Copies of this chain bind each other. A is one copy, B any other.
Amino acid sequence: MVFGNMGETSGTGVCFTRDPSNGEKFLYGEYLVNAQGEDVVAGIRTPQPIETMAQALPDAYQELVDNTQLLEKHYKDMQDIEFTVQDGRLYMLQCRSGKRTGLGAINIACDLVAEGLVTKEEAVGMVEPGHLDQLLHPQFEDEDAYKPDVVGKGLPASPGAAVGQVVFTAADAEALHAAGEKVILVTIDTSPEDVGGINAATGVLTARGGMTSHAAVVARGWGKTCICGCEALRVDAEAKTMELGGVVLQEGDWLSLNGTTGEIIQGKQPLKSAEMDGAFAEFMTWVDGFREIGVFTNADTPADAAVARANGAEGLGLCRTEHMFFETEERIATVRKMILATTDAARQAALGEILPFQRADFEGIFEAMSGLPVTIRLLDPPLHEFLPDGEFDEICEQLAAIAGTSPEAVGEKIEQMEEVNPMLGFRGCRLGIAYPEIPEMQVRAIFEAACNAQQAGAQIASVDIMVPLVGTPAELKSHEQIIRQMAATVFSEKGATVPYRVGTMIEIPRAALIAGEVAETAEFFSFGTNDLTQMTFGYSRDDVNKFLPTYLESGVLKNDPFEVLDTEGVGQLIEMATVNGRATRPDLKVGVCGEQGGDPTSVEFFNKTGLDYVSCSPFRVPIARLAAAQAAINAKKK
């Protein structure tokens, strides 16, 4: 036992060999004269900056500086050090690698390489994927300062800090955003109709839904902060009020969300913006040097694709064609006309109206991804998802005008479309089997767009058309026929060709089980780990929040399987399908386009399984690149 509280020639302190918040190289820390360790931590006395120790205890200070430099060289990392001075003599108590921010982690790693202390390979291992997450989103200035204002907690569905004025409908979010304000959209839950509102919001808060609910997935895709499943939240959308933790907020009141912790904070908390500098870019080139698995992106619009590309995406792994349907009033009205059609001719006519805007969107995507492969998924959700929310009678009135029939006829049609379990219902390729004119239109739009973009100067690397929800070889074969026939037709009309592949999502357990047979037709597989996890576990991601918190608390599950891939169960299917698929077709391209494509421990599994690429939302692309590099480095070590 040594004592720092033996008078003015004694003292105690904590220091870092570099500034953990930005990596700057100087002795960073604080100390107290005539004190023990508890005094520094307890906060009763205010510690002094460590550099003032040079005057107070000059010999001990010089020795401390020398020691810290020695320790850092020895451990080859920034050190967090505790020390005590007893009667002028320095005692080193403890040292360990210090915790750091994202910015700090990047700068320290780069500096250590420059100083020759670590190799680039070691440097890549020193930055946690979560560190990049911090760098890519704005942060609160001081997470301790806001604690008294925390009114509740939800699931940290999409990281970052968001501060804005509360609104309760997607329309209000768009209106207030258009007026130049920052808004937080607060709802019970969100539906595809709300995407405009989510896009307009800086943050989203919902009472229902899990980490992979609609709101969460959309928000993450756009790098928006999102907190989901805040069960204690009460929302009265009509009165435009919310209640949480005893606090009632009206429309326009300020609210802050910490999407990294799930904290919901009253008021307008101060923010600091995301910082990026040259070290980050340099670091990422090292990362890519070690990486073996490709990193693609999930993107539905040319703007998203451009962001992803800037973040280093090497291809587009998932373009959800249906997200385009909601972009304008005119589009969604046309889609509804198609859905409500009672004759093939009426459906064909509506599809004819959808074709031009699908084509225009695809052109933009092909241009944004020029030179890189683009994977487009055919229509996936059940058609009733495109119908408006609201009072049944009002909807029928509204749709009758669009469909040119009576409200009663519309009502009957809507009732026929209702499903008990829409997740397991009439969707995906099942739609294309029943209404081949839908994939025909979509495939035409894709090939016309690819040819047009090529003519306009874009380089078409590969058009990968992906059939969703395949469970039997016949479903894929039927779509393959449509795709190949339409390709031939469009190529002949355009007098041009583009390279293309026909492939499928592997997202139904049965598809994984019979993958060898599926690969007779499929030129590529893309594991849809969201749906595959839902069906392998029998968990609805919309409802899982009813019991998942209990499961995680009681240790029934170690992780949320929608965030971290379940390697034992779902992973077994992925491995089986990859092996059997490649046994049939050795050059089968295999990727993954679920949410876990951007999760580090999941990426490690995908790397080990020999997948060609992972695909994740634009903002997670750098994280996936780092995770993939670390996975490759770790695999080499084993």
A interface with B by C-beta (< 8 Å): 231, 416, 419-426, 430, 433-434, 469, 471-472, 474-475, 478, 507-510, 513-514, 531, 534-540, 542-543, 546-547, 550-551, 554-557, 566, 568-570, 572-573
CB-nearest residue of chain B relative to A572? B513
Q: In the complex, what's the smallest C-beta–C-beta distance from A94 to chain B, in angstroms? A: 37
Does A508 lie within 8 Å of B537, measured CB to CB?
A: yes
Does B543 lie within 8 Å of A420, measured CB to CB?
A: yes
Does A424 lie within 8 Å of B510, measured CB to CB?
A: no
How far, in angstroms, from A509 to B573 measured CA to CA in the complex? Answer: 10
CB-nearest residue of chain B relative to A435? B550
Does A419 lie within 8 Å of B546, measured CB to CB?
A: yes
CB-CB under 8 A from A536, the residues of chain B are 508-510, 513, 535
Does A472 lie within 8 Å of B538, measured CB to CB?
A: no
Of B474, B514, B537, B556, which is within 8 A of A556 by CB?
B474
Does B556 lie within 8 Å of A478, measured CB to CB?
A: yes
CB-CB under 8 A from A539, the residues of chain B are 424
A-B contact pairs, 24 of them (CB 8 A): A231-B416, A419-B546, A420-B422, A420-B540, A421-B421, A421-B423, A421-B424, A421-B540, A425-B546, A430-B547, A434-B550, A471-B569, A472-B556, A478-B556, A508-B536, A508-B538, A509-B509, A509-B569, A510-B536, A510-B537, A510-B566, A514-B568, A535-B535, A535-B536
Question: Given A475-B556, A535-B538, are A543 and B426 also a contact pair (CB < 8 Å)?
Answer: yes
CB-CB under 8 A from A555, the residues of chain B are 474
Question: Given A543-B425, A556-B472, are A569 and B510 also a contact pair (CB < 8 Å)?
Answer: yes
Does B420 lie within 8 Å of A569, measured CB to CB?
A: no
Question: Given A469-B538, A547-B434, are A424 and B426 also a contact pair (CB < 8 Å)?
Answer: no
Does A421 lie within 8 Å of B543, measured CB to CB?
A: yes
Of B509, B537, B543, which is within 8 A of A471 by CB?
B537
How far, in angstroms, from A35 to B625 measured CA to CA in the complex? Answer: 86
Question: Given A537-B508, A556-B474, A569-B513, are A422 and B421 also a contact pair (CB < 8 Å)?
Answer: yes
Question: Given A433-B556, A556-B472, are A569 and B422 also a contact pair (CB < 8 Å)?
Answer: no
Q: In the complex, what's the smallest C-beta–C-beta distance from A317 to chain B, in angstroms? A: 21
Does A551 lie within 8 Å of B433, measured CB to CB?
A: yes
Q: In the complex, what's the smallest C-beta–C-beta distance from A415 to chain B, in angstroms? A: 9
Q: In the complex, what's the smallest C-beta–C-beta distance from A501 to chain B, in angstroms? A: 22
CB-nearest residue of chain B relative to A571? B513
CB-CB under 8 A from A542, the residues of chain B are 419-421
CB-nearest residue of chain B relative to A568? B514
How far, in angstroms, from A430 to B547 measured CA to CA in the complex? Answer: 7
How far, in angstroms, from A546 to B431 measured CA to CA in the complex? Answer: 10
How far, in angstroms, from A14 to B507 measured CA to CA in the complex? Answer: 57
How far, in angstroms, from A551 to B510 measured CA to CA in the complex? Answer: 16
Q: In the complex, what's the smallest C-beta–C-beta distance from A384 to chain B, in angstroms? A: 11
CB-CB under 8 A from A430, the residues of chain B are 547, 551
Q: In the complex, what's the smallest C-beta–C-beta distance from A475 to chain B, in angstroms? A: 6
How far, in angstroms, from A425 to B538 measured CA to CA in the complex? Answer: 8
CB-CB under 8 A from A419, the residues of chain B are 540, 542-543, 546
Question: Given A513-B536, A513-B569, A537-B510, are A554 and B433 also a contact pair (CB < 8 Å)?
Answer: yes
Question: Given A419-B546, A547-B430, A555-B474, are A424 and B540 also a contact pair (CB < 8 Å)?
Answer: yes
Question: Given A421-B423, A424-B534, A543-B419, are A514 and B474 also a contact pair (CB < 8 Å)?
Answer: no
Q: In the complex, what's the smallest C-beta–C-beta distance from A428 to chain B, in angstroms? A: 8
How far, in angstroms, from A537 to B573 measured CA to CA in the complex? Answer: 14
Does B546 lie within 8 Å of A426, measured CB to CB?
A: yes
CB-CB under 8 A from A569, the residues of chain B are 471, 509-510, 513-514
Q: In the complex, what's the smallest C-beta–C-beta distance from A339 to chain B, in angstroms? A: 14
CB-CB under 8 A from A507, the residues of chain B are 538
CB-nearest residue of chain B relative to A531? B538
How far, in angstroms, from A43 to B441 measured CA to CA in the complex? Answer: 53
Of B231, B509, B551, which is within 8 A of A535 by CB?
B509
How far, in angstroms, from A550 to B534 measured CA to CA in the complex? Answer: 25
CB-CB under 8 A from A554, the residues of chain B are 433, 474, 478
How far, in angstroms, from A423 to B422 measured CA to CA in the complex? Answer: 10
CB-nearest residue of chain B relative to A576? B513
How far, in angstroms, from A83 to B471 measured CA to CA in the complex? Answer: 51
How far, in angstroms, from A507 to B535 measured CA to CA in the complex? Answer: 11
